[in-house]
């Protein structure tokens, strides 16, 4: 396996041209596609002719350091889904999107948080990234909870993209969360040195807390 990143339980690798069936199976589960297409599967030809070629082209564009990465359990090698860490097509390379799509069998195990946390660390310590953002539907409380666990803050509300208007809750639009390298470093420092080094708490709700003031560990569990 051409390993890109390892966590305690997961190994992330770059996709290959032989991985279309993994993506097709993933996108065929109505539960997985609930907040994306309203449960409708992605046509296999779309995966083979557009999605997978675009993933592979991304490795060429960003030197293999950014893109979409297949995730497998280290114990047994089962495919659990994918994680994304990449800029927008015409966006600056130091501002990247974080995301994931996991098989239903992998839900509830903490994999999304585990993989995303490791990718944040890699982005800020190895890849020269200064800001990471993530988007989801307003009604997708599972994903929003994960963003909160990553200490990302609510930055904006966004309209539903035209290709997602069939998704459940599309009428409520989406949300965008962000975290900067400075915020991530402050959080890492607090975790190393303890709550005594946490800044004095703000009375503002977490979503509107100044970027330089992360939540204390005890308040964010």
CATH at 133: 3.40.630.30
pTM, rounded to two decimals: 0.85
155-178 pLDDT per residue, tens: 999 999 888 888 889 999 999 999
Q: How far apart are CA 85 and CA 49, in angstroms?
A: 22
pLDDT at 78 > cutoff 90: yes
Joined together, the tokens standing for residue 138 give: 């307003």
Average pLDDT over the chain reads: 90
Residue among 10, 131, 173, 174 nearest 82 (CA): 10
Q: Which pLDDT score is estimated for 87?
A: 97
pLDDT at 7 > cutoff 70: yes
pLDDT at 212 > cutoff 90: no
Q: How many domains does the chain have?
A: 1
Range of the domain at 58: 3-219
The DSSP symbol for 50 reads I
Q: Which pLDDT score is estimated for 201?
A: 52
Q: Is 27 helix (H, G, I), strand (E, B) or coil?
A: coil
CA distances from 154 to 77, 116, 145, 178 (A): 35, 17, 11, 7
* Higher pLDDT, residue 199 or 26: 26
């Amino acid at each position: 396996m051409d390993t890109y990143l390892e966590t305690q339980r997961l190994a992330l690798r770059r996709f290959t041209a032989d991985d279309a069936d993994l993506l097709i199976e993933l996108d065929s589960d109505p539960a997985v596609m609930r907040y994306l297409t309203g449960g409708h599967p992605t046509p296999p030809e779309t995966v083979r002719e557009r999605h997978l070629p675009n993933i592979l082209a991304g490795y060429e564009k960003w030197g293999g350091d950014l893109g979409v990465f297949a995730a497998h359990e280290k114990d047994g090698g089962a495919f659990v889904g994918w994680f994304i860490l990449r800029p927008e097509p015409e966006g600056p390379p130091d501002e990247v999107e974080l995301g994931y799509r996991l098989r239903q069998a992998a839900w509830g195990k903490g994999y999304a948080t585990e993989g995303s946390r490791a990718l944040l660390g890699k982005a800020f310590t190895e890849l020269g990234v200064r800001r990471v953002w993530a988007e989801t539907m307003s009604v997708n409380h599972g994903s929003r909870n994960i963003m909160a666990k990553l200490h990302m803050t609510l930055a904006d509300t966004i309209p539903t993209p035209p290709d997602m208007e069939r998704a459940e809750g599309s009428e409520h639009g989406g949300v965008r969360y962000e975290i900067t390298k400075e915020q991530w470093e402050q959080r890492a420092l607090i975790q190393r040195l303890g709550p005594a080094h946490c800044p004095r708490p703000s009375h503002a709700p977490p979503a509107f807390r100044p970027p330089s003031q992360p939540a204390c560990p005890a308040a964010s569990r």
